[in-house]
Chain A
Amino acid sequence: MRRSLLTSILFACSLQAGSVSEGLDPAALLKPATDTWPTYNGDYSGRRFSTLSQINQGNINQLTVAWMSQVKGVAIKSTPLEVDGILYFTTPDNVWAADARTGKQIWHYLRESQGDHIGQRGVAMYGTWLYFETPDCHLISLNAKDGTVRWDLELADPKLGYFATMAPLVIRDHVLVGVSGDATDVPGFLESLEPATGKVQWKWFTEPKPGEPGSETWPQGTDAIAHGGGMTWMTGTYDPQLNLTYWGTGNPNPVLNGDIRKGDDLYTCSIVALDPDTGKLKWYFQPSPHDTHDWDAVQTPVLFNDTDNGVERKLLAQGSRNGYFFLLDRTTGEHIVTAPFVKTNWSEGIDAKGEPRPKREKEPKPDGALVSPGSDGATNWLAPSFDPQSGLFYLSARRLWSLFYMTADGKPEGWAGRDRNLWATSFIAAIDYMTGKVRWEHPIGEGEGTAGILTTAGNLLFSADNNDNLMALDPATGKTLWHVPLGGRLVASPMTYELDGRQYLLTPIQNVMIAWALPPSK
């Protein structure tokens, strides 16, 4: 990436001597990325829209494979970083650095661990250091140069059921890390660490302490609030002007039984705005009050602005796992739009705050309750995208029906039940953010979609269907412009970068990284 002389000098002052010749200046993250992809979502906004347009509607049919690179093991679910011509990507226990020009491996870090290996979303970078979370809930700091370990610390006790999958978020001199794990009833939290040492700067728990605001939404005089879950599974976003960072929180625990946690269970299944310097809560909005269906609200809170009657609006949009699209004022958290993007049957209506209220009769039952969506959600961790050119918000959506059973006898703990999936069909939805109405939908097949979305200034939307086809769509209409069958699923979200004046599209297919580009000019 390119840096101005001034920021390079500032950067040199802020880091240890000798570490500044390469790497990522955190100050550079304050401006939207153009030719590079330095964070999980590409930039702080979470919109996953690239200003690159070399690959565009006029030449998409010439797109060809630039390189392929296979790694051992499971499917790559991470979004790689691209900084200074080097890619950094992960699977559980593994980090690779590779040449962004050729895919050739530079180094590989392996740390075998206990714990849940469901997925790994990627690393964060600060200067010449990387941050990587592990299945046994450790945070490892690596030297980006050679993958050697700087330090290794435990974020939370894996024996209690914590693990970690998310890509940390660097905001100036803070490394923000979240945790995963809702098989046991442990509290979720978000933590800010000092980049150099890993020392805790602040820790924000999803559940307030008894007596604090929000605690009144839990039963009083029981231990429910101390075991309320609310994991921080997915990377948040950040508005440098407001100095607020936005995060979704996970579902409450016990997962499918709400009887011992009657109330809205704040701040689970919420979108929260925090001050990144203090961890103080500025506002919250709760997409799923008193969730009993595992519909965490960790889908990326996407930030963009528009102008309404000459006044600029600072907006936040989320396509939530519970089947609703939400548009908020990100300064205040005030609700602007709430609208379902699939047919659901679990809510009795939307309250004055814009939050859908759950129907008691659609909570999981010993004899089964038919609910849409199922616990896998009307969308999930797959990245959404906002395209400022089309003005549309895109997400990978599902119509999904399930029978939910509350199986626990006695005091419910852990999940206390499960749903059995009936059927699912998936589509890419383009949502008019001003109304929440679906402008177009593009079916991608039976079953549950697994691919995230990237939009670009080339008037292209990249994603994949459920039949192993990588596709480029017209963001305005949803029409297919290009596709190629790849013999494997995209179980990640595509990204793009420019190197040597050439734009690359990067798509992990199972455990193979494929880079696409236009044919070389000579």
Chain B
Amino acid sequence: MEAMRVKTFLSLLVGFAGFTCQPLFGQDKVDFDRAAVERGRTDFKSSCGFCHGEDATGNRAPDLIRSAITNHDVNGNLLDPVIRSGRPDRGMPAFSNLRDKDLADIVTFLHSQAYAALHSAHVPGDYPVAKLLTGNADRGKTYFDGAGGCTQCHSVTGDLAGIAKKLKPIDLQQRLVYPETRGKQTATVTTADGQSFQGKVKDLDEFNVAIVDASGWYHSWPRSEVKVEVHDPLAAHRELTEKYTDRDIHDLFAYLETLK
């Protein structure tokens, strides 16, 4: 899949809402009626799950999430007749006694399952901490205080105090490896006449450098005319990225997650 596709897609999701049982592909964010989805899940399980799997991903009968009928269905126009009449030629019984309301719930459940699969290319912000807590906090502390060199810049009673309260678990794990991608660099720029300027890096490439100084003023120079010393507080994080084992990361996370 192409770079940045999902990120772009997710950014498009913001600000769109509203649910109708429309075909799912190409649609912006859909807010399903959660109560209807759960009722539908229960009904599906009892009426359909034995053959189609409790989550509708198929068992002895086909997967309904990847089904053309589900994905072309609009408000039950295709699913209803199949459920009501069955497919006797393929061994599917008719469910003619289902109430309209229950049928609508099942249809909503199927659409929500298909939507979830279609939009599974992200890690939700509320990703369960239990899935992440596979490390050993004691080993994490040892790594933090020792091999990781974390205490050279950080303190669990200083800048990291209560960090697990401030960040969602999934964000904490990501940021412990690499806090932020941009905006942390500072630079000292020395001009030919010996003047020195310091500030946050605003722009830096092989041709020009620009900083914003402590008073908030912007300065820029051609790189060829000045000496530039860049200070990157995240350099240690980059170096560590190439050294971490997955166990180190999970141990560190288990340790930092105790800082509440």
Contacts and interface: CB of A to CB of B under 8 A. Distances in A.
B17 interface: no
Contacts of B117: 184, 413-414
A364 to B, nearest CB: 10
A275 interface: no
Contacts of B68: 157, 159-160
A343 B121 contact: no
Interface in A134-192: 135-136, 157-161, 163, 165, 180, 182-186
Contact of B1 (A296, A421, A485): A296
A134 to B, nearest CB: 12
Interface string B113-127: 000011111111001
A368 B169 CA distance: 12
Nearest to B73: A159
B26 interface: yes
A114 B25 contact: yes
A381, A401, A445: residue with the most chain B Cβ atoms closer than 10 Å? A401
B25, B118, B127, B207: residue with the most chain A Cβ atoms closer than 10 Å? B25
Interface stretch (B4-12, B96-104, B147-155, B191-199): B4-12
B8 A118 contact: yes
Contacts of B174: 403, 420, 422
Nearest to A222: B58
User: What are the 10 A-B residue pairs with the smallest beta carbon separation, nearest first?
Assistant: A415-B121, A114-B26, A414-B117, A422-B178, A467-B205, A376-B3, A413-B117, A411-B57, A414-B120, A367-B134
19 contacts: A114-B25, A115-B25, A118-B5, A118-B8, A158-B26, A184-B66, A223-B58, A233-B2, A250-B1, A296-B1, A367-B250, A375-B1, A381-B3, A403-B174, A411-B57, A414-B117, A414-B119, A445-B205, A466-B205
Interface in B113-163: 117-124, 127, 131-135
Instruction: Tell me whether chain A's interface is mostly helix, strand or loop, or mixed.
Output: loop
A365 interface: yes
Nearest to A443: B206
Contacts of A422: 174, 177-178, 181, 241
A119 B2 CA distance: 9
Contacts of A118: 2, 5, 8-9
B1 A480 contact: no
A261 B237 CA distance: 35
Contact of B120 (A115, A163, A413, A485): A413
Contact of B118 (A223, A251, A414, A485): A414
Contacts of A119: 2
A183 B121 contact: yes
B229 interface: no
Bin chain B's interface residue count. 35 or more
Interface string B17-38: 0000001111000000000000
A407 B127 contact: yes
A304 to B, nearest CB: 26
A393 to B, nearest CB: 21
A183 B118 contact: yes
Nearest to B249: A370
B238 interface: yes
Given A422-B174, A467-B203, A368 B132 contact: yes
Contacts of A180: 2
B25 A159 contact: yes
A446 interface: yes
A505 B57 CA distance: 52
Nearest to B134: A367
Interface of A: 114-116, 118-119, 135-136, 157-161, 163, 165, 180, 182-186, 223, 227, 231, 233, 250-251, 255, 294, 296, 343, 361, 365-370, 372, 375-377, 380-381, 401, 403, 405, 407-408, 410-418, 420-424, 443, 445-448, 465-467, 469, 480, 483, 485
Given A114-B25, A116-B26, A469-B205, A446 B181 contact: yes
Contacts of B123: 405, 407, 417-418, 420
B2 A370 contact: no
A165 B121 CA distance: 19
Contacts of A377: 3
A417 B170 CA distance: 13
A159 B67 CA distance: 10
B178 A159 contact: no
A159 B24 CA distance: 7
B55 interface: yes
Contacts of A445: 205
A228 B202 CA distance: 45
Contacts of B122: 415, 418
Given A159-B23, A381-B2, A367 B71 contact: no
B120 A416 contact: yes
A422 B133 CA distance: 20
A417 B238 contact: no
Nearest to B71: A159
